[in-house]
Amino acid sequence: MALRSTCTRLSVGCVIVRDKRIIASGYNGSITGDAHCIDVGCKVVDGHCVRVLHAEQNALLQCARFGISTERADLYVTHMPCLQCTKSIIQAGIARVYYEASYRPDPYAVELFEHAKVPVLQVNSNLHFLCENFSETQC
C-alpha cells in the first residue's frame, strides 16, 4: 500500500483487518479529485504536508463510506500513527495497532492508546509487514 502513496515526503500504507480478512486499505495521498503531491508538489504548513490524508485516515474513511464496521478490527500501518490518526483509530473501535517504523512518535498519542487499552505493537522490520495469514503467533 505504501508504494501507492502520492506524497513524496513519506510513503505510508495501512490495512484494516477483521477476522483475518482485509476490510479496507489506504495510503497517504490527496482527497479524491485533488492534485497529487507527485504532480504539483507538497503543500507544507508547519512542517507537515496538508494536501494529503494519512493512510490510516484513508482506510478508516473507506470503511465509513461503504458502511463497514471497524469495531474490534486490527490496523496494520507502516509507521507509528500520529496524534490525529491515533484519536481516529481509538474512536473507530480498532482493537490493536501493528506498525513497523517509528516516525516522530507523539508521547500523547502513546498515552491515549494506553488509556484506551489499545495495544500498539512494533513488528520486526525483518519480517514481511503483513503476515500471510494474519496469525498473531507469526507476526
**Does residue 20 contact residue 56 with C-beta atoms inside 8 Å?**
no
Query: Is the four-CA dihedral 106, 108, 109, 111 of positive or negative sign?
Result: positive
Contact 110, 90 (CB under 8 A): no
Active-site residue flag, 56: yes
Neighbours of 11 (CB within 10 A): 18
Q: Decide if 101 contacts 55 (C-beta within 8 A).
A: no
- The active-site residue, picked from 56, 100, 132, 136, is 56
Look-up of cell digits 490495512 = 15
Which residues are designated catalytic? 56
